Structure 1
Amino acid sequence: MLTQLLAAAETAGETHGDPSVPYLIGGVVFAVFLIMMFATIAFRSVGQRHPAVEEHAVPHRQHPAKHPGPGARH
Structure 2
Amino acid sequence: MLTQVLAAAEAAGEAHVETVSPFLVGGGIFAVFLLLMFATIAFRSVGQRHPAVEEHADPHRQHPAKHPGFGAKH
Closer, same or farther in 2 for the Cα pair 1:2/1:57, shift >3 Å?
farther
Aligned Cα root-mean-square deviation (Å): 2.8
TM-score (ref. length: structure 2): 0.54
Which structure has the larger Rg over C-alpha atoms?
2
Listed one character per residue, the Cα deviations across residues 7-42 of structure 1 (whole Å, up to 9, x for unaligned) are 42663475422552x432332232012111121022
Structure 1's consecutive aligned runs of 4 or more residues displaced over 3 angstroms after TM superposition are 9-15
Work out the number of aligned pairs and report it.
63
**Structure 2 residue ranges without an equivalent (≥5):** 65-74
TM-score normalised by structure 1 residue count: 0.54
The aligned amino acid for 1:16 is V
Say which structure, 1 or 2, has more relative contact order (CA 8 Å, 6+ apart): 2
2:18 counterpart residue number: 17
Q: Structure 1: any 5+ residue segments left out of the alignment?
A: 65-74
Give the match for residue 49 of structure 1: 49
